[in-house]
Each structure stands twice: as C-alpha cells, then as structure tokens.
Structure 1
Amino acid sequence: MTKFSVVLPVRNGWPYVRECVESILAQRYPHFDLVVLDNQSTDNTVPWLKSLRDSRIRLYGSSSPLSIVDSWRRVVGIERQEYMTLIGHDDLLDPGFLETIQRTIERYPDAKLYQTGSRLIDTSGNTIRSCRPTPERETPAQYLQGRFTYKRDITGTGVVMRSVDYDRVGGIPAFERLFFADDALWLSLMQGGYKAFDPNELFSIRMHPKKESTTKPSSWPALLLGLNQFAEFLKAYAAGDSQASVAVANEGTSFMLRYHQNLYILALVEASQSGQRIEPATTSRISESLRNCAPAAADLLRNSFSLRAVEALNAGPLRRTVPLLWGAYHRYWMRAQ
C-alpha cells in the first residue's frame, strides 16, 4: 500500500489555506496524511486547522518567526510517509491527484519523481491557462532543455518524491528566498533517473500579488542572487551528467542572458516607480552577474530592443509610464505564455 504525506509550510495563509487544506482532505485516495508546518501565523490559519479535529492532520509550530527558506527547510527531519509532496498554502489538489500519482508509481516504479498536469489560477480560482506539458518520461537533460528555452512552467510544489530521497539530498536548497531552489531540488532528485508525468490536470497553482514567488520589480536583487546560486549549482551538476552538460552548453548562455536582461528591466521599472533614473551601480551589478553566470554573453546585456526602449524611457521625462507599461505586459505575458 502506497502512503503519502502532503507537506504544507504556511504563514498567515488565510483565506487561501482553507481551500488548499479542503482540497487535500478531499482526495479520493485514502492513504495519506497532511503535515502542516506553521510559521507563527497570526491570522485564522491555526485556529481553523485545530477546529477540524481531523486525525490526518499533523500540525507543527515554530518557536520564533522564520524566513521562507528556514520554514521550508524544516521539512527534513519531520516524520513523513514513504512518498511526499510539497504544496503552497494557496495551491489546490484535484480530488484525483494522489489516486493518479499512485497509478503512475505502479506504472513507473523506478522513476525518481512523479507529476501530473496542472493549471494556473487567479485569486478567485478561475483558470488563467494550462501549464505546459512535459514528456511522459523526462530526464534531467530534457528538464534543463525545457527550462532554458522557456518551454516549461516551473513550480516548487505538486511534485511527488520519496521522502528518503528528499532527506538524502538535504531537502530544498537554501537559495535566496528559494528562487531557483525548486530547479536545483528537482534536478538533484532526478539525477541518474527520470520524472514520470501524467498529463491529466490535477493541480492548481494560484497566481496573486502577495504570492512569495510572484515576480515584482523590487525582487530583482533576490532573483539575481538566486540566479547566481543556481549557476554555481549547474556547474557542479553538469560535471557529473554528460547529457545535462550538453544542455547547459547549448542553451545555458542564452538562458542566463535573457534572465539578466529581464532582471535589468525589473530594476529599471523599480527605479521608475520612484521617479528615479537607474543607478550606474545597479547596471554594473547586473553586468558583473552576467559575466559570472555566462562569460560568453558578458557584453550582450543591452543587446535587446525592449530593454533599450525601457532604458530610454527611464532616462527621460516619460519614466513614470514604465511601471504602467510593465504591468500591462506582465498581465499579457501570464495569459499568453
């Protein structure tokens, strides 16, 4: 009998956490428990969880407020079933999620990871779009190829793994605010094997302004640091996987260049929000990061029409229009990708 633990780290998740927990408890597959790692919530999260009096729920608190990194790192060492999955407090499981994962495990018993199709939803639970599909059997090299060419929706939740493997790799890496830590975790767990994928959409990822992983102009420094941590991880990972090394060699430079260009645009938007011209030190910081992550693209940061256009707006009297244009573009991008 396959048993699962659904692990939910949360801090002040109300009201989304209610819908999340209800979706977990509504699973048709009966052999699971819900492990809630509360991070000193001050809203209705904990009182409501306790009011459920459901034996499937195990609630752990924290003695002091934790960063998102430290909160999620608590997963290692907590008692879990043979298989586990992480879920954000604002995400949802369809009733057949665990049931389908259990069948996928029976079909691919040697897989390292298991995943179903998913969708992006808005604050009200309406579907924004379906997430991009992945191969039925995805290797680390295929994951990197899809990631580098923006043909995957990367999520830190909704992926099922063996608890012993999660502990073996040390849990989710302590990257800055967990940016790119999910990439490193999945690659570490897949090493030498593959991920099995069922195309049925049975997981919802909620997108809203307060979501920790939502890209905001002010998040560019944290993203930059996380990206550099991911680049260092990739160097070590590629050295031990020849196929992954090919993917990094073929697509890694263009990925790093495009990501740095996007972060530069975020920095331009942040400066424009304050009515300021971007600081030369900020430009230099992003340029040096690109040089570190992708030496071959070191001089290509401004090799983008859209970036130069935003840069020109930021330098002139129309800089106040930059945040408005970025907001409109970001809404379009979320639906069109």
Structure 2
Amino acid sequence: MRSFSVILPVRNGWPYVRECVESILAQTCPDFELIVLDNQSTDNTVPWLKSLADSRVRLHYSPAALSIVDSWARAVAVEKQEYMTLIGHDDALDPDFLLTINRTIDRHPEAKLYQTGSRLIDSVGKTIRGCRPVPERETPAQYLQGRLTYQRDITGTGVVMRSADYDRIGGIPHFERLFFADDALWLSLMRGGYKAFDAAELCSVRMHARKESTTQPSSWPSLLLGLNQFADFVQDYVRSDAAAQAVVVQNFPDFMRRYHNNLYILALLEACQKGHKIDPETANRLFASLERRAPAATASIRRSLTIRLIEVLNASPMRKTALPFWEMYRRFWMHAQ
C-alpha cells in the first residue's frame, strides 16, 4: 500500500471544513496523513481541528494573513508522503477515494497523474450533477481538447500526483487568485505522459457563492488576468508537443472568444450592480485582450443577443433588472453544462 498526503489549505472554512476533514479521516486506505495549512482563520476552524487529537492530522499555521496564491504555495515547503492530493476546504472525498487511486496506480504505474470521477454539490450537499467523464488514459492534447471545447469540468479536488513531481515544478502556478492554475498544473505534470482516470465518482466539489473560484461579476478583472496568464502558458507549452499544438491552433481562438464574451457579461453586470453604465475603458480593456489573442473573434462579441440585451438594460434606468436574469441563467448553466 502506497502512502498519501492530503493537503488542505484553509482560511475561515467553517462549517464546511468539518465535513471535508471528516471525509478525509474516514478513508479506507490505511496509510495517509492530512496536512492542514491554516491561513489565519478566525472562526471555529482551528479550535475544532485541535480538538480532534488525531495523529494523522498535521496542522501548520501562517504567521500572517496570506493571499490564496501564497497560502496554497506552502504545499511545496511541507514534508509529504510519496503521493499527494490537494483539496478545497468545502469539498469532500468518498471513503474509497485513496484506495481506488492506489488501485489505479497498480494498473497504470507509469502514469503522471491519477484521478477519479467527481460530482458537483450545492451549499447543503445536494448533488447538482456528475462531472463529465474523461478517457481512462488522457494525454495533454486530449486534456486541452476537452478544456478548450468546454467538455471538461476543471477542479482541483480529486487529482493525485507524486509529491516529488509537484515539488520539482514548483507547485501550483502563481496565477491571479489561482484562476486557471489547476489547468497549468495538470498539464505541467502530464508533460510527456498521461493521466490515468477511474470513472467511479468518489469526490464532491461544492459550488456556492462564497467559493473562491465561483464566478461573480466583480471577479472579471482577476479572471481576465488569469486567462491571459493561462494563454501565455499554453502558447509556451505546445512548443514541445505537436499534438497539443494542433489542438490549440484549432480550438484556442473560439475558447478565447467565448471566455471574453462571458467576461464582458460579468463586467456589464458589475456596472448594473453598482447602478451605472459600464466604463468605456472597461470594454476597451476586454476587447483589446481578445484582439491580442483572437483578432478575428472581436467583432462577434456584440452580436450576442444576451450581451445586446444586457447592454440595453445597462444603458437604461432599469439596469438593475438585469441581475435576476443573470441568476436564472447561471443556475440553468450549472445544471445543464
């Protein structure tokens, strides 16, 4: 049986952190540890963790409040077992997750990464839907094909790697608020190899308003920066992978068009929330970003009926009526995609 480290960065994770930790400690795999990287929590997170008195739990404290990027970066510095996995404090593992990963390593000892199926859950733990399955052997080109065509659910929970490989590449990339950092991390670790996948749904990924990665209108500047960091990463990455390069040439322009389209919607909605028309400089910033990445796609943004409707509402005294429509659309997208 292999040994595993489950690494949990957290800041004020109560009450979800309790369910997360209990799910980890309930693993049927006997050889694992839980490394908690607390980031100056002021709620019940640390007192409850201390009350566990469980030798499998190692608690590390931050001497000062850290950004999410710097908090997760600490995973490189801590001593770890042979294999490791990262988990968000509001996610959870099924009891057989690590045991199934161990069996997957037996079947694919040469793989670079290991993953099981997952499900999306809401704030109270109700299943929204299962995440899309991926090939049993997924190459970087296949990963990019799914990602750039919106046929993959990208989560940080449920993926296991060799600790030495994680440390060798410097850990998770320091992208803005970690947007798209998971993509870059998995691709970096898969380089020259593949990810082995077991279809059993053994992880729960929670989607709720407080989640760091949840898309909110005000998050569009950070998303734009992270998107462009990812774009730079991809362009560099495919230079040494012909199959991945072919996928990017074919799919990246439309991926960027769709993502900038959504970011413009978020920017419009942020202006509606604040009760004013969108700043022309904001629109120019988004259009300039798309022009740099996919010039032929720039004109298509304002042809979107959704955008045209929100632009009309944003320019009118009824701009705040756009917000309920967005919430309905967001919920529909979460269930349907």
TM-score of the superposed pair, with normalisation by structure 2:
0.98
Q: Equivalents in 1 of 2:218, 2:328: separation in Å?
A: 17
Is the Cα contact below 8 Å between 2:157 and 2:203 reproduced in 1?
no
Q: Equivalents in 2 of 1:36, 1:236: separation in Å?
A: 33
Task: Report the 3-state secondary structure (helix = DSSP H, G, I; strand = E; otherwise coil) of the residue aligned with 2:151.
Answer: coil
Aligned residues: 337
Task: Report the 3-state secondary structure (helix = DSSP H, G, I; strand = E; otherwise coil) of the residue aligned with 2:302.
Answer: coil
Residue 212 (1) aligns with residue 206 (2): no
Task: Report the 3-state secondary structure (helix = DSSP H, G, I; strand = E; otherwise coil) of the residue aligned with 2:213.
Answer: coil
- Give 1:336's aligned residue: 336
Q: Equivalents in 2 of 1:246, 1:309: separation in Å?
A: 36
Show structure 1 runs of 4+ deviating over 6 A: none
Q: Equivalents in 2 of 1:60, 1:299: separation in Å?
A: 50
Q: Equivalents in 2 of 1:333, 1:177: separation in Å?
A: 23
Task: Report the 3-state secondary structure (helix = DSSP H, G, I; strand = E; otherwise coil) of the residue aligned with 2:124.
Answer: coil
Q: Equivalents in 2 of 1:305, 1:75: separation in Å?
A: 44
- Give 1:280's aligned residue: 280
Amino acid corresponding to residue 45 of structure 2 in structure 1: T
Q: Equivalents in 2 of 1:181, 1:63: separation in Å?
A: 25
- Give 1:50's aligned residue: 50
- Give 2:165's aligned residue: 165
| Structure 1 unaligned spans of 5+ | none
Task: Report the 3-state secondary structure (helix = DSSP H, G, I; strand = E; otherwise coil) of the residue aligned with 1:29.
Answer: coil
Instruction: Name which of structure 1's ranges 84-93 and 311-320 shifts more when overlaid on structure 2.
Output: 311-320
Residue by residue, what CA displacement relative to the aligned partner does 1:106-143 show, whole Å, maximum 9, x if unpaired?
00001111000100011111101111110111111111
Q: Equivalents in 2 of 1:131, 1:5: separation in Å?
A: 24
RMSD: 0.9
Give the Å deviation of 1:54.
Answer: 0.5
| Structure 2 unaligned spans of 5+ | none
Q: Equivalents in 2 of 1:122, 1:281: separation in Å?
A: 36
- Give 1:195's aligned residue: 195
Q: Equivalents in 2 of 1:62, 1:294: separation in Å?
A: 41
Amino acid corresponding to residue 90 of structure 1 in structure 2: D
Q: Equivalents in 1 of 2:300, 2:293: separation in Å?
A: 13
Give the Å deviation of 1:47.
Answer: 1.0
- Mapping 1:4-19, distance limit 5 Å: 4-19=4-19
Residue by residue, what CA displacement relative to the aligned partner does 1:46-68 show, whole Å, maximum 9, x if unpaired?
11111111000011001000000
Residue 110 (1) aligns with residue 102 (2): no
- Mapping 1:70-81, distance limit 5 Å: 70-81=70-81
- Give 1:92's aligned residue: 92
- Give 2:244's aligned residue: 244
Q: Equivalents in 2 of 1:168, 1:309: separation in Å?
A: 49
Percent identical? 69
- Give 1:304's aligned residue: 304
Give the Å deviation of 1:319.
Answer: 1.5
Residue 231 (1) aligns with residue 244 (2): no
Give the Å deviation of 1:39.
Answer: 0.3
